[in-house]
């Protein structure tokens, strides 16, 4: 049975190499697979690339920032701690995308949707999960100018120089004909979620939550 879920900090950290014990993380991943009764959850080694991988679930870790499957019972996961987790569903394939500032600008969203369409997917719906909001994502004035020149939907105001990742990503998805649902939860403002930027500011433990989707 198809489904989606987003974890919060109380589920624990699902990211490797960010200070948590690796065996604890792997055990947590395994326990989640068992609790949602699907065969396998595929994780990504995310590098802010535009690499999209079609998976049948046989590899539990792939080097990519987006994964697509048309196999039933294969969970696709995306790790985030402020970046935008995007889960896309259709009746025949699903996708998980890691999209932060770089992913928003490198074409990975369009590339993923095109792959789903090439597999015959129709009536695509995307769910954007917990991620940092425009008010909390202030960047340097130079970076702000560089990004909004090419991606105007990310603009807030020159005075605030905050980037609106959710708005630009929502625009890109809509442009591809995908219906968009945004949970509208800011990771930095809500301590129920891990936030990379909050951890940097306060020294609190780093962690990554995940979004998972399966057919
Ligand atoms: Zn916020």
For residue 189, the number of C-alpha atoms closer than 13 Å in the C-beta half-sphere is 11
Backbone angles phi and psi of 4, in degrees to 5: -140, 155
Q: How far is the CA of 50 from the centre of ligand 1 (A)?
A: 26
On the 0-12 / 13-18 / 19+ scale of CB atoms within 10 A, 140 is: exposed
Distance, in Å, from the CA atom of 12 to the CA atom of 17, rounded to the nearest integer, reads 14
Cβ contact 103:64 at 8 Å: no
User: Which residues, 6 or more positions from 152, have their beta carbon under 8 angstroms from its beta carbon?
Assistant: none
Q: How far is the CA of 82 from the centre of ligand 1 (A)?
A: 10
Domains of the chain: 3-131+173-214 (3.60.140.10)
Q: Parallel, antiparallel, or unpaired for β 74-80 and 179-182?
A: unpaired
For 123-166, write each residue's pLDDT tens digit.
Answer: 999 999 999 999 999 999 999 999 999 999 999 999 999 999 99
For 38-87, write each residue's pLDDT tens digit.
Answer: 879 999 999 999 999 999 999 999 999 999 999 999 999 999 999 999 99
- pTM for the predicted model, two decimal places: 0.96
Q: How far is the CA of 71 from the centre of ligand 1 (A)?
A: 36
């Amino acid at each position: 049975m198809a489904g989606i879920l987003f974890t919060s900090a109380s589920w624990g950290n699902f990211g490797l190499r960010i200070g948590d014990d690796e065996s604890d993380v792997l055990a947590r991943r395994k326990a989640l697979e068992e609790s949602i009764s699907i065969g396998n959850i595929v994780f990504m080694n995310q590098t802010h690339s535009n690499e999209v991988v079609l998976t049948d679930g046989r590899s539990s870790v792939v080097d990519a920032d987006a994964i697509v499957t048309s196999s039933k019972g294969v969970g696709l996961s995306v790790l985030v701690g402020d970046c935008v987790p995007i889960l896309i569903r259709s009746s025949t394939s699903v996708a998980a995308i890691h999209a932060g500032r770089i992913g928003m600008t490198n074409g990975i969203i369009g590339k993923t949707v095109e792959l789903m369409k090439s597999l015959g997917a129709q009536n695509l719906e995307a769910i954007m999960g917990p991620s940092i909001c425009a008010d909390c994502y202030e960047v340097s004035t130079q970076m702000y100018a560089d990004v909004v020149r090419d991606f105007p939907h990310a603009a807030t105001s020159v005075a605030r120089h905050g980037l609106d990742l959710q708005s630009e990503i929502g625009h890109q998805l809509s442009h591809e004909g995908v219906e968009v649902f945004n949970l509208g939860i800011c990771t930095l403002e809500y301590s129920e979620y891990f936030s990379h930027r909050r951890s940097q500011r306060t020294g609190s433990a780093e962690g990554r939550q995940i979004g998972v989707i399966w057919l």
